[in-house]
Amino acid sequence: MKHTTKLNWWIPFSFVPLMIVAILLESHLAYAAAIHEVVDCGIVIVAFGAMLGWMHFNADKLAEEDRAKEKWIFTEEPCDDNDEIEFHNDLISELTHEPLTQPAQTAVGLREIDSNKGRYN
């Protein structure tokens, strides 16, 4: 029987608060502003590098979790070819021969279009 351990998700989630604490502690040290920027960038890079390392170290477990979530279950429902489609006549509206839109009204001073000729009269 294959024994799998659960992932410790608290580890990568703890990197962000630790990064914030390290940046706050670093801001109280006295040295040049340019060095502060370099050290802050280094702290962020180390924190995200640690997250990446955790993901790389646990890649197999992460992939296994994904496969476990993606299990598809297909069930075949019985189907009769002789089933007839039932129409509910009370839900079908009556057919009308009326146009869907109102006829366009001609404006004063414009020529009317003859639909038979396809050009202006």
pTM of the complete model: 0.51
Q: What pLDDT is stored for residue 121 in this prediction? A: 46
Backbone angles phi, psi at 18, to 5 degrees: -65, -35
Q: What pLDDT is stored for residue 14 in this prediction? A: 93
Q: What pLDDT is stored for residue 42 in this prediction? A: 95
Residues of the chain with pLDDT under 50: 1, 121
Q: What pLDDT is stored for residue 63 in this prediction? A: 87
Q: Which long-range contacts (CB under 8 A, 24 or more apart) does 44-47 make?
A: 44/19, 46/19, 47/15, 47/16, 47/18, 47/19, 47/22
Q: Could you give the residue ranges of the DSSP H alpha helices within 1-121?
A: 10-27, 33-57, 59-69
